A and B are shown apart, each in its own frame.
Chain A
Amino acid sequence: MANASVIQGNFIKMVSHKSGLSPTMVNSLRTGILSLIGILTFLLVWQSTANNIDTSLGQFPGPVQVYEQIGNLVSDYQREQEREAAFYERQEERNARRLAEDPDAEIRFREYTGQPTFPAQIITSLKTVAAGFLLATVIAIPLGIACGLSETLYSAINPVIQLFKPVSPLAWLPLVTMVVSAVYVSDDPMFAKSFLNSAFTVALCCLWPTVINTTVGVGSVNSDLINVSRVLQLPTLKHVQKIVIPSAIPFIFTGLRLSLATGWMVLIAAEMLAQNPGLGKFIWDEFQNGSSDSLGRIMVAVLTIGFIGFILDRLMLFAQHRVSWDKSSVLK
């Protein structure tokens, strides 16, 4: 291994010497080329395997078909937007006409209710995962800090955590659904019930990684630093703010990233299972639809889910980099 990296280093030096590019540029060029080769190989393998898989809905979609479907989804979206604009235009015309005939006429406004488009489903899913993740974070971090500080609380809560941690959040889904529809009764609901169901389910699975990692992080604060705090007689709140949280930040973020990743995975499954709006429902609907385009569209959704998951993780990493005091540490 050591040899390989030496050879690689020499290679970079040699190339940078010959081409006049700086070594960092050569290095990033190299990474770029390697990624490109990786992606191209993947596309090639994908296309050739896809050609050999026949399903009852036609051939398994390869990259070309997926690309076509992306185009279709975009034009679907544009068509839907035009329809919506036309709908409101007609409604306004109609109302204006009525008012002209009879100034006292009662006029009505209706919301446009068309098919949810693919981008709309993405946005719904993002909102839901954000809500569930935030809710979980707001509970999990303080709970984790409290458990890390107090051995007593930890002993009391740990069995509960260990019991619920391995439960698939999907098992909660029926319970959450029933509780939400029983408790959340309002004539003019601020949130749709389906939104709450999905968000709570996501929150339930986002809780544990953050609680556990925060607890561990708080428990492993350097004992010298704790002694400094004791000698200074820092009040608890200040102790937490100045000493505990900064030390535990890497652990907290590890927990948050795990939470967000599982939350995103679970959300898609919950949407499929409960028919709640979002990317999961999109996939399920396409599957039920069973047209020749369906598999291609599902594949677009799969890739989108992967890409969004990746972006979410990068965002967390960026956030960690922003709040972390140790700028020199390499975050991966």
Chain B
Amino acid sequence: MNRFLDISSVGIEFNTDSGTFRALDKVNLSIKQGEFVSLIGHSGCGKSTVLNIVAGLLEATEGGVILEGKEVNTPGPDRAVVFQNHALLPWMTVYQNVELAVKQVFKGQKSKSEIHDWIAHNLELVHMSHAIHKMPHEISGGMKQRVGIARCLAMQPKVLLMDEPFGALDALTRAHLQDSLMEIQNDLGNTVIMITHDVDEAVLLSDRIVMMTNGPAASIGEILDVDLPRPRDRLALSESPEFNQIRNRALRFLYEKQKFPGGGSRAKKPRLEAVDGASESKSASAAA
């Protein structure tokens, strides 16, 4: 019984102008320590909402989240969040951005030089040592995202929460960052929950893929185990039959069992192949 993180019968209602809107209903999920879990589902089904409840940024209407035996309902650095669009403070250098987090989390625990070394080490992990004194507007989108990840890693969180971390990046950069993330997770053994629209990304990175049903009152539809051996290599995998089998099962779930409710082409659909993902159509079908 290794129950590290427990999301138990979580439901949430939002108050909107046209009455209450039930976004989630009876979401149950347990995650083991060191596990990498992907959340996948159609746009607007409630993935970000689940993640934000775990982060404590949103409060569940029913049920709750238990981390290492304790209920969590406020945000905290033990559940670091990587935001879709980096969320670096634009008035601080790369170094200062990480420093703000490190100083806050380790105040009184690390000496000055230890703090410095720890910041440098985490920026090294994401291959950003060459630009530590640059301002965010001086570095590329992929680099910003790396710094965002470094900031979270530096907090040594119990769970790393990532909301479409690579969604706004081009295919090549995304592949680079996926490899970096795999490497880091391999070394550090972080527990990760990642939202993605990219089925290939989910299969490549995850131990389990959690597929959500369409909202309103979305819940967990199916869970796929990904038993591919690690370390994984994207080129080798693309030819492996197991990889393709898992991938196809995920696609079948999304396109046959959970057809996109509105069916409109303007909505974000899970990605078959890498295309530019900077889509902004949030909350596409909430009112429908």
Interface residues of chain A, those whose CB is within 8 Å of chain B, are 222, 224-225, 227-228, 230-234, 238, 242-243, 246, 325-326, 328
With A224-B87, A325-B91, A328-B137 in contact, is A232–B81 under 8 Å at CB? no
Of the A-B pairs whose beta carbons lie under 8 Å apart in the complex, a sample of 8, sorted by A's number, is A227-B81, A231-B79, A232-B104, A232-B105, A233-B104, A238-B104, A243-B89, A246-B91
Q: Which residues of A contact B76 (CB under 8 A)?
A: 231, 233
Q: Name, among B80, B104, B155, the residue most crowded by chain A CB atoms within 10 Å (CB to CB).
A: B104
With A224-B85, A227-B57, A227-B83 in contact, is A233–B91 under 8 Å at CB? no
Name which residue of chain A comes closest to B91, CB basis: A325
Interface majority SS (helix, strand, loop, mixed), chain A: helix
**What string of 1s and 0s marks CB contacts (under 8 Å) between B77-101 and chain A?**
1011101010101111000000011
Q: Which residues of A contact B137 (CB under 8 A)?
A: 326, 328
Candidates B56, B83, B100, B104; contact of A224 at CB < 8 Å: B83
A225 to B85, CA, bound (A): 11
B39 CB–A CB distance under 8 Å: no
The answer on a CB contact under 8 Å between B85 and A231 is no
B63 CB–A CB distance under 8 Å: no
A230 to B57, CA, bound (A): 8
Name which residue of chain B comes closest to A242, CB basis: B100
* Contact residues, B41-59 vs A (CB, 8 A): 55-57
Known: A228-B89, A233-B75. 7 other contacts (CB 8 A): A224-B85, A227-B87, A228-B83, A231-B76, A231-B80, A231-B81, A242-B92
Q: Which residues of B contact A234 (CB under 8 A)?
A: 104
Name which residue of chain A comes closest to B81, CB basis: A231
List of 6 A-B pairs having minimum Cβ-Cβ separation, nearest first:
A325-B91, A224-B87, A246-B91, A230-B75, A232-B104, A231-B75
Name which residue of chain A comes closest to B96, CB basis: A242
Name which residue of chain B comes closest to A246, CB basis: B91
Q: Which residues of A contact B92 (CB under 8 A)?
A: 242
Q: How far is the CB of A271 from chain B (nearest CB, A)?
A: 40
Interface residues of chain B, those whose CB is within 8 Å of chain A, are 55-57, 75-77, 79-81, 83, 85, 87, 89-92, 100-101, 104-105, 135, 137, 155
Name which residue of chain A comes closest to B55, CB basis: A231
Candidates B56, B79, B80, B89; contact of A225 at CB < 8 Å: B89
A224 to B89, CA, bound (A): 10
Q: Which residues of B contact A238 (CB under 8 A)?
A: 104
The answer on a CB contact under 8 Å between A242 and B81 is no
Q: Which residues of B contact A328 (CB under 8 A)?
A: 137
Q: How far is the CB of B153 from chain A (nearest CB, A)?
A: 14
Q: Which residues of B contact A224 (CB under 8 A)?
A: 83, 85, 87
Q: Which residues of B contact A325 (CB under 8 A)?
A: 90-91, 135
Q: Which residues of B contact A242 (CB under 8 A)?
A: 89, 92, 100
Q: Which residues of A contact B105 (CB under 8 A)?
A: 232
The answer on a CB contact under 8 Å between B77 and A231 is yes
Name which residue of chain B comes closest to A328, CB basis: B137
Name which residue of chain A comes closest to B78, CB basis: A231
Q: Which residues of A contact B90 (CB under 8 A)?
A: 325-326
Q: Which residues of A contact B81 (CB under 8 A)?
A: 227-228, 231
Name which residue of chain A comes closest to B161, CB basis: A231
Q: Which residues of B contact A233 (CB under 8 A)?
A: 75-77, 104
Q: Which residues of A contact B101 (CB under 8 A)?
A: 232
The answer on a CB contact under 8 Å between A225 and B100 is no
Q: How far is the CB of A287 from chain B (nearest CB, A)?
A: 50
Q: Name, among A232, A242, A246, the residue most crowded by chain B CB atoms within 10 Å (CB to CB).
A: A232
The answer on a CB contact under 8 Å between A225 and B87 is yes
